[in-house]
Amino acid sequence: MAKTAEEIRQLNERISYAGRFIDTLRAEVGKVIIGQSYMLDRLLIGLLSNGHVLLEGVPGLAKTLTIKSLSQAIHAKFSRIQFTPDLLPADVIGTLIYNQQKGEFVIRKGPIFGNFILADEINRAPAKVQSALLEAMQERQVTIGESTFSLEEPFLVLATQNPLEQEGTYPLPEAQVDRFLMKVVVGYPSRSEEQLIVRQAVEGLTMPTVNPVVSMQEILAARSLVREVYMDEKVERYILDIVFATRFPSEAGLENLKPLISYGSSPRGSINLAIAAKAHAFLSKRGYVVPEDVRSICLDVLRHRIGITYEAEAENVTAEAVVQQVLDKVALP
């Protein structure tokens, strides 16, 4: 529904006031993390959109440290699960333990019962563990024996995976990858940032303590405000144009992409693109979405939702390259 200029102005003021904690949060995490502002912004978008985030990058890029520091800066329960090939579903969600004194089975909850779940090297887990995690991610609930437990909000799975090693890894099922709001490819720090990182490490400086500076109530209030961010019908149509171009490239004038795409983005891609664009606008202290919000998060939202053919792989064409071609072709509103 269209908003008047006055309504948008009032929304801008509310967002500007409610979003003050974002700068505080960035500053607190910045005490430990040098650079990587792109990765941190994507984690914040996941937090505001109530969506899980998958981080992919070579070892040593501070993926785990960033997630841990973010959770420490918020009054929330943090759990870390190190995924290995011998992991069992019970190690993640919990299990029934026989209590001899009471003569009955009691439930022991697993590390999934937290607010921030760091799933380290998620692609090392076997299929049974993946399916147990899938229920928690999608349904926000866990089943142990005959009992089902709802997971406390906010509940966020922040997963990492190493793209280099393939030995002892299990490719994530498409159904699970699709549950992630974004797949963020983490790059190297800049030359000046790395110089600071090296200096800190060599001088043996004590790692600063990250203190809780944001309450869960502030996060939940910001989430409801993100949903109120105004999105014009033209921007909605722009999102649909992008998604439909991945499904029917010929109709969008991208005939060359037809043999390269095996399947396009699902409706979940359209929904997540809209929500993430609203969260991006919120981070910019804006009460309305502009096309640039959509473009800036499009790669992260769609790169794991597009299937590429063997022909594309033979020509070294990636899903990112496909999305970029779509963005270059689809007209801005």
CA 161 to chain CA mean position, Å: 13
Q: State whether 214 and 234 are in the same domain.
A: no
* CATH number assigned to the domain comprising residue 239: 1.10.8.80
Cα–Cα dist 321/268, whole Å: 21
Q: State whether 200 and 245 are in the same domain.
A: no
Cα–Cα dist 182/169, whole Å: 21
State pLDDT tens for residues 5-27.
Answer: 888 888 888 888 888 889 999 99
Residue ending a domain, among 194, 219, 244, is: 219
pLDDT at residue 298, rounded to an integer: 95
Q: State whether 197 and 242 are in the same domain.
A: no
- Residues paired with 74 in a beta bridge: 214
Q: State whether 176 and 284 are in the same domain.
A: no
Assigned token pair, 110: 């697993």
pLDDT at residue 102, rounded to an integer: 78
Q: State whether 137 and 49 are in the same domain.
A: yes
104: confidence class by pLDDT, cuts 50, 70, 90 = confident
Q: State whether 126 and 203 are in the same domain.
A: yes
Cα–Cα dist 244/2, whole Å: 24
- Please report the sign of the dihedral spanned by the C-alpha atoms of residue 154, residue 276, residue 302, residue 266: positive
Residue ending a domain, among 159, 188, 219, is: 219
Looking at the domain assignment, is residue 224 inside a domain? no
pLDDT at residue 242, rounded to an integer: 95
Assigned token pair, 74: 């918020």
Q: For tokens 């022991």, what's the residue? A: 108
DSSP alpha helix (H) spans, 50-155: 63-72, 89-93, 127-139
**Quick one: average pLDDT of 130-135?**
81
327: confidence class by pLDDT, cuts 50, 70, 90 = very high
Q: State whether 247 and 200 are in the same domain.
A: no
Cα Rg, the chain, nearest whole Å:
21
- Name the residue range of residue 174's domain: 5-219
Looking at the domain assignment, is residue 42 inside a domain? yes
Looking at the domain assignment, is residue 108 inside a domain? yes
Cα–Cα dist 131/170, whole Å: 13
Q: State whether 190 and 274 are in the same domain.
A: no
Residue 241 near residue 288 (C-beta atoms within 8 A): no
| φ and ψ of 21, to 5 deg | -65, -20
Looking at the domain assignment, is residue 244 inside a domain? yes
Q: What pTM was computed for the model?
A: 0.89
Q: State whether 189 and 321 are in the same domain.
A: no
User: What would the DSSP string read from start to end of 18-85?
Assistant: HTHHHHHHHHHHHTT--S-HHHHHHHHHHHHHT-EEEEE--TTSSHHHHHHHHHHTBTS-EEEEE--T
CA 122 to chain CA mean position, Å: 14
Looking at the domain assignment, is residue 109 inside a domain? yes
Contacts of 14 (CB under 8 A, 6+ apart): 225, 287
Looking at the domain assignment, is residue 317 inside a domain? yes
Into how many domains does the chain fold?
2
State pLDDT tens for residues 31-70.
Answer: 888 888 899 999 999 999 999 999 888 888 888 888 888 8
Looking at the domain assignment, is residue 225 inside a domain? no
Q: State whether 18 and 149 are in the same domain.
A: yes
Residue 159 has pLDDT above 90, yes or no: no
- Residue 207 one-letter amino acid: M
Assigned token pair, 37: 């502002």
**Quick one: average pLDDT of 144-148?**
83
* CATH number assigned to the domain comprising residue 82: 3.40.50.300
Residue ending a domain, among 219, 248, 274, is: 219
Q: State whether 166 and 257 are in the same domain.
A: no
DSSP alpha helix (H) spans, 150-266: 174-177, 191-203, 216-228, 233-247
Looking at the domain assignment, is residue 206 inside a domain? yes
State pLDDT tens for residues 265-298.
Answer: 989 999 999 999 999 999 999 989 999 999 999 9
Question: How far is residue 48 from each of residues 39, 86, 275, 281, measured CA to CA in Å?
Answer: 14, 34, 9, 11
Cα–Cα dist 139/145, whole Å: 17
Q: State whether 47 and 184 are in the same domain.
A: yes
